[in-house]
Chain A
Amino acid sequence: MKQIISIELYKIFRRPRTYIAFGAIAALIMVIQFGLKMDGQSYAGFLMKDINDTLTVDGNVLNGYLICYILLQLLLVHVPLLVALIAADMISGEANLGTLRLLFTTPYSRTQWVVGKFIAASIYTIVLLIWLAILALFLSMWVFGTDDLFLMKSNYVVLIQEKDVLWRYVGAFVFASFSLLTVTSLGFLMSSIANNSIGPIVGTMSAIVFFTILSTLNIPLFSIIKPYLFTTHMNNWKEFFDIKVDDNNEAIFGTILNLPKIKTSLIVLTVHIILFVSASVIITKRKDILS
């Protein structure tokens, strides 16, 4: 298995296509950071315009922690599409290229190949997420400095002390890795069904868009299935930034308002990963390699 994983990783990182995602993330983040650095104060003023009369905020509001939060809100919708570019091509791309028959005539079972390829694609996904973390969090911290995190939610304001922020980002990125691994496993499932490169990539992206729409629509008919859709849970990394308050409405250091919601989401996402990968194994094992 180690051999398969190392070979698959070697192939992934030798392909020029792999670096599109790294380049796209870097470009997007740096453009946004540049914009906020140049004209951040007017952006902060826009954010605060509704509460300026009732609240006075001292310090550096537009700090690295807030920039990272803004970037994650923007990018964690798009990164799954970049992940699909690689994951959805892992099996079908080889079928299309004709190399799948070379792999499947080696002394490893198809189950070993599918699991090995999934692990390699997962490592790629996590490396991509680490790259995102380095640029969105650490580069922002370096460029914009650090201070308390001030977040405007839909009908309330959250203020998290500077020392209470970093671990929340670690939690949020770990959670995001589960979300992205779900996308990876969905891409894998699509990849095991088709014999061409484009179909599974488009299929994965379409499935994400379709289920995201179902998750966000407030139609009672869909309310029954919403809790079971992976897209309902993918954005729950934000729960790490909702903090418990005491009787005086003071934030309680080191707490999370709705920890059970995070746990439930992680369970739902993990079940999806297991189901998608298991289905990929079964489909690939039964398949005749005719390409």
Chain B
Amino acid sequence: MAVIQVQDLSKHFGTLKAVDQLSFSVNAGEVFGFLGQNGSGKSTTIRMLLSLIHPTSGHIELFGKSMESNRNEILEEVGAIIERPDLYPYLTAKEHLQLFGKLRSKQINAASINDTLIKVGLFERANDKVQTFSLGMKQRLGIAIALVHNPSLIILDEPTNGLDPQGISDIRNLIKQLAKQEGKTILVSSHLLSEIEQMATQIMIIHKGQKIAEGPIQKLLDPTKMIVHIKTINDVQTLQVILSGSFSNYLLPRTDGIYLCMPDYEIPLLNASLVNAGVGLIGVETRNSLEDYFLQVTSNSN
């Protein structure tokens, strides 16, 4: 069952098409990674999902109900953090959860607030004012606000912003736990692609407001599309060898080194032809990461 169903969604700011005819769906229990470069339309899309921005055209359904006509009912089941963790500096962490919990559910009590604070690692600072918090702690509190009313759908826009490596790992584990153990549906956007790779089951990449890739990570990270980075002592000679042979089609248009995208079974052949041509090889690195895939598809669509 699709928890989020978006059809032909567009948002224009004057002549700028921030989001252009975007369609996608997120199924129940999925961790959906939402990727794109800065200014690609991710945040605008997320804000439209939460009715903060009015779409120019298109249709949004959450839990099978139209957002336009069932907004309040839908938002009872949604928890969200959008970009920065903006909070009231003069209130404590506990007061934030009390206020926002009460706004979303009548069943909020001291125990559920404490549980949420423990989940995000802020229990010890429950009674401290937010003005004394670091950016990472504010981010944790923002996530706690999104979780306090036990929503079915959680939308997290850059949830690891400002967190240290331990904090990033904690949030990653929390997201995984929420999806696996509690069956939550999670839409998460992040610029940390390695994090998305570790927690998402599905991803979508948008570029200039349009969808350019979507699917399960395993399917997108195709073994026939390995990223190969060749390090040599003479890049010009290496490029001549590659361009004169059958590997020229695999060459990626990158300026930071010699990169190819090719099937894994052809890598030994490439290696052999470079050695035979007398190229001074330093090394051949092969990768198949989300980051490489992301760079590949976004550079292709430029």
Nearest-Cβ distance from residue A282 to partner chain B, whole angstroms: 13
Chain A residues near B145: list those with CB within 8 A.
Answer: 102
Q: Answer yes or no: B251 CB below 8 A from chain A CBs.
A: no
In the complex formed, the residue of A with least CB distance to B78 is: A105
- Which B residues between 50 and 79 are near A, CB-CB below 8 angstroms? 50-54, 71-76, 78
Alpha-carbon gap, A3 to B87, bound state (A)? 19
- Which B residues between 6 and 47 are near A, CB-CB below 8 angstroms? 47
Q: Answer yes or no: B99 CB below 8 A from chain A CBs.
A: yes
Contact residue among A14, A106, A286, A290 (Cβ-Cβ distance under 8 Å from B103): A106
Q: Answer yes or no: A98 CB below 8 A from chain B CBs.
A: yes
Nearest-Cβ distance from residue A164 to partner chain B, whole angstroms: 46
A106 & B104 in contact (Cβ 8 Å cutoff): yes
Given contacts A14-B91, A102-B145, A104-B52, contact A289 B47 (CB under 8 A): yes
Contact residue among B54, B73, B75, B87 (Cβ-Cβ distance under 8 Å from A106): B75
Nearest-Cβ distance from residue A290 to partner chain B, whole angstroms: 7
Indicate with 1 or 0, residue by residue over B169-202, a CB within 8 angstroms of chain A CB atoms.
Answer: 0000000000000000000000000000000000
Alpha-carbon gap, A4 to B99, bound state (A)? 9
Given contacts A15-B90, A104-B52, A288-B53, contact A109 B82 (CB under 8 A): no
Q: Count the A residues whose beta carbon is within 8 Å of the partner chain — how many?
A: 24
Q: Answer yes or no: A10 CB below 8 A from chain B CBs.
A: yes
Alpha-carbon gap, A4 to B80, bound state (A)? 19
Indicate with 1 or 0, residue by residue over A1-37, a CB within 8 angstroms of chain B CB atoms.
Answer: 0011001001100111000000000000000000000
- Which A residues between 116 and 145 are near B, CB-CB below 8 angstroms? none
In the complex formed, the residue of A with least CB distance to B86 is: A98
B72 & A102 in contact (Cβ 8 Å cutoff): no
A288 & B99 in contact (Cβ 8 Å cutoff): no
Contact residue among A11, A101, A107, A109 (Cβ-Cβ distance under 8 Å from B52): A101
Nearest-Cβ distance from residue A184 to partner chain B, whole angstroms: 21
B71 & A99 in contact (Cβ 8 Å cutoff): no
Chain A residues near B50: list those with CB within 8 A.
Answer: 101, 104-105
Nearest-Cβ distance from residue A107 to partner chain B, whole angstroms: 4
Given contacts A99-B87, A106-B75, A289-B47, contact A7 B52 (CB under 8 A): no
B54 & A10 in contact (Cβ 8 Å cutoff): no
Chain A residues near B88: list those with CB within 8 A.
Answer: 11, 14, 97, 99
Indicate with 1 or 0, residue by residue over B125-159, a CB within 8 angstroms of chain A CB atoms.
Answer: 00000000000000000000100000000000000
Q: Answer yes or no: B254 CB below 8 A from chain A CBs.
A: no
B102 & A7 in contact (Cβ 8 Å cutoff): yes
Size bracket of the B interface: 20 to 34
Chain B residues near A3: list those with CB within 8 A.
Answer: 102-103
Chain B residues near A97: list those with CB within 8 A.
Answer: 86, 88
A105 & B80 in contact (Cβ 8 Å cutoff): yes
A102 & B100 in contact (Cβ 8 Å cutoff): yes
B86 & A102 in contact (Cβ 8 Å cutoff): yes
Given contacts A3-B102, A7-B99, A10-B99, contact A105 B52 (CB under 8 A): yes
Chain B residues near A4: list those with CB within 8 A.
Answer: 103
A98 & B84 in contact (Cβ 8 Å cutoff): yes
Chain B residues near A102: list those with CB within 8 A.
Answer: 86-87, 100, 145
Alpha-carbon gap, A286 to B52, bound state (A)? 10
In the complex formed, the residue of A with least CB distance to B129 is: A14
Chain A residues near B90: list those with CB within 8 A.
Answer: 14-16
Chain B residues near A10: list those with CB within 8 A.
Answer: 99
Alpha-carbon gap, A11 to B99, bound state (A)? 10
Contact residue among A11, A16, A99, A107 (Cβ-Cβ distance under 8 Å from B104): A107
B75 & A107 in contact (Cβ 8 Å cutoff): yes
Chain A residues near B91: list those with CB within 8 A.
Answer: 11, 14
B82 & A101 in contact (Cβ 8 Å cutoff): yes
Given contacts A15-B90, A288-B53, A290-B53, contact A108 B72 (CB under 8 A): yes
Instruction: Please list 18 pairs of residues, one from A and one from B, whose beta carbons are closer than 8 Å in the complex, sorted by A's number.
Output: A3-B103, A7-B102, A7-B103, A14-B90, A97-B86, A98-B84, A98-B86, A101-B50, A102-B86, A102-B100, A103-B103, A105-B80, A107-B71, A107-B73, A107-B74, A109-B72, A288-B52, A290-B53
A sample of 12 more A-B contacts (CB under 8 A), given A3-B102, A101-B52, is: A11-B91, A15-B90, A16-B90, A99-B86, A102-B87, A102-B145, A105-B51, A105-B78, A107-B104, A288-B53, A289-B53, A290-B53
Which residues of B come within 8 Å of A, CB atoms?
A: 47, 50-54, 71-76, 78, 80, 82, 84, 86-88, 90-91, 95, 99-100, 102-104, 145
- Report, nearest first, the 5 A-B pairs whose CB atoms are least far apart: A98-B86, A289-B52, A107-B72, A107-B75, A106-B103
